[in-house]
Amino acid sequence: MSATTELQTALTAYPEPNGFGARVVGVNLSETLSADVVASLRALWLEHQVLYFPDQPMTHDGLVQFAGRFGPFGDDPFVEPVDGQPHILEVRREPDEAVSPFGASWHSDWSFQDTPPSATVLHAKIVPPVGGETLFADGYRAFETLDPALKNDVVHMRALHSARRPYSHEGYARSGGNLRSMNIVPADNAWTTRSHPIVRKHPETGRQALWINPVYTIAIENMSHTESEAILKRLIDHALQPQHIYTHKWSADMLTMWDNRCVQHCARGGYDGHRRVMHRCIIAGDVPV
């Protein structure tokens, strides 16, 4: 892979060393983008799974306009949106919050839904001077590097996903949810479960990804608790090995988008005493197969 990929005269992508993640420059995301530019950005996103765009000041309307070019908006449960902006969720942590950051455990956004989001678009408004990175894990590489015997087994397995750990009333209380500045709304329906394949075939690239996460994946179907726990731990430990992870550093006005169909992520802390504010949109997905 070349160091840079030129798509048009100005639009240029600089991949991370192993190709997982890329910095994109030469485009103003607040402008009305042509169909050709959107197609080029989509191709880059599918190739690198995580794209980030430095120095992109955006209004609420600008963020919604950009995100909406990649598909219809998905459903954001359990968290109230920004006033007057039903498609924007504010990820906020105040300097004095005594609980872990929102999203601080590995997950794929809303994997407990029937049709989890295809993309997450996150725009940095206030970035602390230390900490606050986002870690991304490559589900493609995790599947491709699995032990062959385990790989052969898990392609036939399905797992149950649920929002109960963070968003049931019990989980919300246990995690200190009432101490957060975000307006989280726990609910009884967080106990609902959905069955999804452990190995997911990407609907656009055709590649297979290991698609489980320690927050929302609660069990393997048709398996004892002990056996299910052992296999899930083995798979998650493998997926989160350092060689599968890209550590993303933020700057103010940076926009980052990633592919939830083959990526899981988590938010790092390390910035106690500082405010961090991000605005997020999600793009609707499809039924995992």
Per-residue pLDDT of 137-183, as tens digits, reads 999 999 999 999 999 999 999 999 999 999 999 999 998 888 898 99
Cα–Cα distance, 171 to 148 (Å, whole number): 36
> Which residues have C-beta within 8 Å of that of residue 152, sequence separation ≥ 6?
none
pLDDT digits (tens, 9 = 90+) for 20-56: 999 999 999 999 999 999 999 999 999 999 999 999 9
Q: What is the DSSP letter of 143?
A: H
Cα first-last separation, the chain: 29
pLDDT digits (tens, 9 = 90+) for 82-91: 999 999 999 9
The CATH homologous superfamily of the domain defined by 5-283? Clavaminate synthase-like (3.60.130.10)
Rounded to the nearest integer, the mean pLDDT of the chain is: 95
% of residues, the chain, pLDDT over 70: 97
- CA 44, 283, 286, 138 dihedral sign is positive
pTM of the entire structure? 0.95
Q: Hunting for tokens 């997982």 — which residue is that? A: 20
Output the pLDDT for position 9. Answer: 47
pLDDT at position 277 over 60: yes
Q: Do the Cβ atoms of 38 and 54 come closer than 8 Å?
A: no
Q: Do the Cβ atoms of 214 and 200 come closer than 8 Å?
A: no
Amino acid identity, position 154: V
Cα–Cα distance, 239 to 252 (Å, whole number): 30
Domain boundaries along the sequence of the chain: 5-283
Q: Could you give the C-alpha distances from 10 to 42, 48, 250, in angstroms and in order?
A: 16, 19, 23
Q: Residue 139's CB: how many other CB atoms inside 10 A?
A: 28
